[in-house]
Amino acid sequence: MNFHMLALVVVLLAGLEQSWAASCVVDSFTVKEDFDPKRYAGKWYALQKKDPEGLFLQDNISAEYTIGDDGSMVASSKGRVTLFGFWVVCADMAAQYTVPDSANPGKMFMNYQGLASYLSSGGDNYWVIDTDYENYAITYACRTLKDDGSCEDGYSLIFSRNPRGLPPTIQRSIRAKQEEICMAGQFEPVLQSGTSLLNVYPKGTCAAKGSLLAWTETPTDD
């Protein structure tokens, strides 16, 4: 009896594992339908992030997207990063975006460059999983796939137009999307420390206007 029960448990676990793997196949993830880069353009502040392996921006992350005359999207982004384990610098990055499939504009490819010799350059997918254009956006990139099509090494950012946070109703929608891209529970808050960075960077190049109160805070009108 015990042997049969054990065999049943093993079969059930194997089935659950296969089901999870199938639901986490990256190519099955949906992105924002009919993504409109013109509405997406403007300033965004990162509130949460799931880091990839290796070096990544740590806090005070912001990005500003603009649309060129030819309709292509470019961005300038900023954030603090720690190099060599001790050197904290303000990283300025630039990026250009292309759309491999015009029928799916929410799935873009991003070429990025660090605007200093000690910052990296490269390319990643840039998928806009969801956005309402006015409040929040969820971006996703998978750098390395497993044999089963799920993601081995990827990252995601939760952006807001307001560095102080998002209302609870939007937070619930975002958590649902985090589950859909198989990253639930893997995100960490992104500090937006505002004027406190002015003492370190006199020009305020890494400082967001205002401050992030908390992920659970609802912004109030000034």
Model pLDDT for residues 59-94, shown as the tens digit of each residue: 999 999 999 999 999 999 999 998 888 888 999 999
| Mean pLDDT value across residues 9-28 | 59
CA 71 to CA 105: how far, in whole Å? 12
Number of domains making up the chain: 1
CA 163 to CA 23: how far, in whole Å? 32
- pLDDT-derived band at 4 (thresholds 50, 70, 90) equals low
Higher pLDDT, 167 or 118: 167
Per the domain annotation, does 103 fall within a domain?
A: yes
pLDDT at 119: 85
Per the domain annotation, does 100 fall within a domain?
A: yes
Per the domain annotation, does 165 fall within a domain?
A: yes
In the block, residue with structure tokens 């102080």:
164
Per the domain annotation, does 19 fall within a domain?
A: no
DSSP state of 195: G
The sign of the torsion formed by the CA atoms of 152, 153, 158, 159 equals: negative
pLDDT reading at 147 higher than 80: yes
CA 130 to CA 30: how far, in whole Å? 9
Per the domain annotation, does 125 fall within a domain?
A: yes
Per the domain annotation, does 15 fall within a domain?
A: no
pLDDT reading at 160 higher than 50: yes
CA atoms within 13 A on the CB side of 77: 29
CA 153 to CA 206: how far, in whole Å? 27
- Which of 17-26, 113-122, 198-207 is most confident? 113-122
Selection from 94, 59, 60, 56 nearest residue 208 by Cα:
60
Selection from 47, 40, 9, 12 nearest residue 189 by Cα:
47
pLDDT reading at 16 higher than 90: no
In the block, residue with structure tokens 């015009």:
102
What domain range includes position 83?
28-199
pLDDT at 210: 39
Per the domain annotation, does 215 fall within a domain?
A: no
| CATH number of 73's domain | 2.40.128.20
Six token digits for residue 125: 């997918």
Is the pTM higher than 0.85?
no
pLDDT reading at 222 higher than 60: no
**What is the residue-averaged pLDDT of the chain?**
84
Per the domain annotation, does 79 fall within a domain?
A: yes
pLDDT reading at 201 higher than 50: no
Q: Is beta strand 87-98 parallel, antiparallel or unpaired with respect to 107-114?
A: antiparallel
Contact yes or no for 152/146 (Cβ under 8 A):
yes
Contact yes or no for 79/51 (Cβ under 8 A):
no
pLDDT reading at 7 higher than 70: no
Flag the least confident range among 26-40, 98-112, 188-202: 188-202
pLDDT at 150: 98
pLDDT reading at 17 higher than 50: no
- pLDDT-derived band at 10 (thresholds 50, 70, 90) equals very low
